[in-house]
A and B are shown apart, each in its own frame.
Chain A
């Protein structure tokens, strides 16, 4: 199993550009989530999904869109990138409800917005 994979590993954008961060998992997990981590800080939940076709907002959803058309994939879209979105983005997945199950993290995407 590859676990949770993310692409790209690094990305530089200009203000106003859009892009999609890819996330995939091969563990047949129902729950998937996106976090951002700013320097010296913890992980903040952006969006999450409890299954194909079902998504909801986390703590910091503004400026980001998600969709979940398959169990395996959970892409994160930045609509119009801003310097405040410079961060490391982690995707994670979990079997069942997150509150009682292990969450597996992908390797992260380091995004810089100029």
Chain B
């Protein structure tokens, strides 16, 4: 079942902060975050695993609430290069082999 992302789109001024949320109705093993720029492939940002382990980008922070099956990606002091579409992907407890992505959050950072 596809996770739900919010907001669908956000516009920031350079230096402002943003939070992107990802919510699932099923029990999760992990949440993955990717960023995609227009016309390019998605690029890995972070993995948050059940139990608290995190892997990934040291300039981006995120949280995973295992009880609520929710994750949030925190973009602080945004830069122009942060613009793009952010996707969360969720892996359920029932499968080691499927990563299901949300529909994405479009972020535009303006000077």
What is A's interface to B at a CB cutoff of 8 Å? Answer: 31, 33, 35, 41-45, 48, 50, 56, 58-59, 90, 97-108
Contact = CB atoms under 8 A, between A and B. Distances in A.
Contacts of A44: 101
A43 B101 contact: yes
Contacts of A103: 32, 44, 89, 99
A107 B43 CA distance: 10
Contacts of B84: none
Contacts of A58: 98
Contact of A98 (B55, B87, B97, B103): B97
B45 to A, nearest CB: 10
A59 B42 CA distance: 19
Nearest to B88: A42
B44 A42 contact: no
- Scoring A33, A41, A100, A103 by chain B CB atoms within 10 A of each residue's CB, the highest score goes to A100
A68 to B, nearest CB: 13
Interface string B17-41: 0000000000001101000000011
